[in-house]
Amino acid sequence: MIQPYILSGVSFYSVWYWILTVVLWALICQRPLGVPYDMILRADRLPEVADRVDFLAHIQAERLNGLRETVGGPAAALIGFGLAMLAVLGFGFGVEVAQAGFALTFPMAMVAVATLALAARARREGAR
């Protein structure tokens, strides 16, 4: 049986939804390509920090490219299925919890795709 709160329209009005949204975006924005943002800011001023940032970025790019090559296809299929399921349940059947889940996960998936593309470009071009 479907629980009553699923269809009652409380997901987007919940303070916990917005706290989760803020926490997720704060975590995502703090480590672009796996390098802490404060190190990126210090790298402009200090050359030794810039070398460490390059080193960390290349390690992370290699790690992400390795993951993409080994489990990329199945992971993309599973994530795509999950997003499609949330979209159909949320926007096709009007389940607001699924809409809230889609609103949280779809932008995160786009950030993940952009991060993987950046990692592939960093490996290909040896970007600094």
For the chain, domain boundaries? 4-125
Q: Is the distance from CB of 115 to CB of 33 less than 8 angstroms?
A: yes
**Quick one: average pLDDT of 65-83?**
95
The share of the chain scoring above pLDDT 90, in percent, equals 44
Q: Is the distance from CB of 37 to CB of 123 less than 8 angstroms?
A: no
Tokens representing 105? 């996960």
Q: Which pTM was predicted?
A: 0.79
Greater confidence (98 vs 12) lies with: 98
Cα distance between residue 2 and residue 71, in whole Å: 34
The predicted structure's pLDDT at residue 78: 97
Look up residue 128 and give its amino acid. Answer: R
**Quick one: average pLDDT of 94-99?**
91
